[in-house]
Homo-oligomer: A and B are copies of this chain.
Amino acid sequence: MNYYVCLLQEGVSSIPKLIEKAYANNYNVVATSINANMVPFEPDESDPTYPATILSAMDWNSKVIFTMSDVDVDSPNVKLRQHAKEVLLRDVAWAEHLQNMGSVMVRLRGPENDNLAAIVRSKTKGNWFIRVPITNPDLATFEHRKDATAEEVAQAESNDPWSWWNNLRIAAKYSSKVKVVVELNDSDRPSKETVRRWLGEPIEAIIIPSSLFVRNRSNYCVLKKEWQLIIGQFISVRANIIISTNPKDNALSQYADYLKKLINENCDTHVLNSYENMLEIPLQPLSDNLDSYTYEVFETDPVKYKLYQNAVQAALIDRVSDEEAKSKLTVVMLLGGGRGPLARAIFNAAELTKRQVRLYIIEKNTNAIRTLSNMVKTLWANKDVHIFSKDMRDFSPPELADIMVSELLGSFGDNELSPECLDGALKLLKPDGISIPYKSTSYINPLMSAILHQNVCQLLSTVPAFDYGYVSLLKNIYHIDEPKALFEFTHPNRVEKIDNTRCKVLSFTVKKDCVLHGIGGYFDTHLYKDICLSINPLTHTAGMFSWFPMFFPTRPRTLKEGQTISIKFWRCVDATKVWYEWQVVNSPDDWEHHNTCGTGYNMRL
């Protein structure tokens, strides 16, 4: 992963020299005033600060973050406000002249930011980095002031800088060019929940003041354990690092080297990182065939097939005693053979338990059949294995199965129609036959994620994006409350009239002021007895990456700490399709009812 470590210094007389110093000390970006060199505080000041030619266009774009004049365009004082606007607009014009895709940074001063938002929206090139203190700076001053009243403290606590940012980004219409830069300070360490909430925002970077560093016994600049943990969390959601210090500081390289070490320790490296926060519209489970690339990705899961193998092993031992091992044949039916990974797990299980197994592989994808057939001819030439190129619902078996093995589960458990498929395959199973897996449960919880919301909005031009559920590797999210169990399905389902529709309301408590952007969806499944797979964040199977969570969007609404929100979820079935509907049902008013009649996301039968 490419993180940058940026040196932020004000009062600089030469930007090229600052860059030189920063590079010599292992920084790769600098941040400094756009009016470096001198400060023409009059907006119509004609004197130059520096010519455009001191850096090349490429350097202006890639090496410099401009900090804008620290003026209050939302001041209640008309004169001050007017002057501030002129100064900031002049800075914007100069920034747009120098940078195409570069970035400018501006500091929030309080909750009122409507004029700033208007200026933010008017700039068409590059990004805005919005600098926000992680906690209200007033709180820090109280640490030194023993005379602060409880009322003053309470007021400062309620004036939460996150809400300053929230007001601005709403006024700036969730523009993807507007990102937040969270500024730490040495006098107040934020609570865990405060940090977690910021992870649901489009974090560009965190600012670490050099005063956060302490000297260790070897006289090196280091961070205390508590700060390491906080900064590590930001790094894990791809926040870059900005070190803020004064021009005379001579420990610059120690800070940069220390942070680069911290980045290496905390950056979440995995091959799927390009999927983070992306929204994928799920495939049609019955009509779309997987391609070879998708099979290949799933086959590399280091955990899933091992757990399936353990489950089949345990089932074989339970069904066939050691005495019968040589004589008793267990018929296993694999529903959906793909390119063979589960077949391999079943053969491994038979070999390890020394049980006799006859394996029927049913697979509807004729392309996968080519590869399976080749495996039968080469790898499994001496096995009792039979391939059928069929939809499992239409398959007439030559004999009934002791064990039915399948991996038909989607990110939300039943969303790839495993209930319908396994119900349809019931006729393949002996009366005492078992299904691996035998139970699956879906889970949901409310989420804040500005980036996912932006991505949903971008899809609006092509699909009714708020009526879709998406598969997404959730990264920049805040769990407003913990996941709770939603729908459960068990197999085999031998009730006479099977009903796979469901409806349930779950209530959650808002842990901190935030915005609801949607609902996270997860599942766990019991393969055999207590052998489980889970993508529920509370119980996630370690190392397993076969399933990303789901995300069901809602229209954004700001929530207050302590508030209860109730989410109603439906699983609906008609003759041709299965779909979900969802709605926040908060008294006194219900929010939008999503995906009514399955007009958006649905699974065709």
Interface residues of A (CB under 8 A from B): 46-53, 56-57, 60-61, 93-94, 96-100, 125, 289, 291-293, 295-297, 339, 365-371, 373-375, 377, 389
Contacts and interface: CB of A to CB of B under 8 A. Distances in A.
A339 B292 contact: no
Given A48-B370, A48-B371, A51-B371, A289 B97 contact: yes
A48 B374 contact: yes
What copy number does this chain have within its complex? 2
A126 to B, nearest CB: 11
A367 B94 contact: yes
A471 to B, nearest CB: 17
Contacts of A46: 369, 373, 389
Given A57-B293, A98-B292, A52 B339 contact: yes
A292 B48 contact: no
16 contacts: A46-B369, A46-B389, A48-B374, A49-B370, A51-B370, A52-B292, A52-B295, A52-B368, A52-B371, A57-B292, A57-B296, A57-B297, A96-B291, A97-B291, A99-B292, A100-B291
Nearest to A61: B293
A371 B53 contact: yes
Nearest to A371: B51
Nearest to A57: B293
A60 to B, nearest CB: 7
A280 to B, nearest CB: 14
A380 to B, nearest CB: 12
Given A51-B371, A51-B374, A374-B51, A93 B366 contact: yes
Contacts of A377: 48
Given A339-B53, A366-B93, A370-B48, A291 B375 contact: no
B375 A52 contact: no
Contacts of A367: 52, 93-94, 97
Given A47-B373, A53-B371, A97-B367, 13 more contacts: A51-B339, A51-B370, A51-B374, A52-B295, A52-B339, A52-B370, A52-B371, A57-B292, A57-B297, A61-B293, A93-B366, A98-B291, A99-B291
A48 B296 CA distance: 19
A94 B98 CA distance: 51
- Report which residue of A57, A94, A96, A365 has the largest number of chain B beta carbons within 10 angstroms of its beta carbon: A57
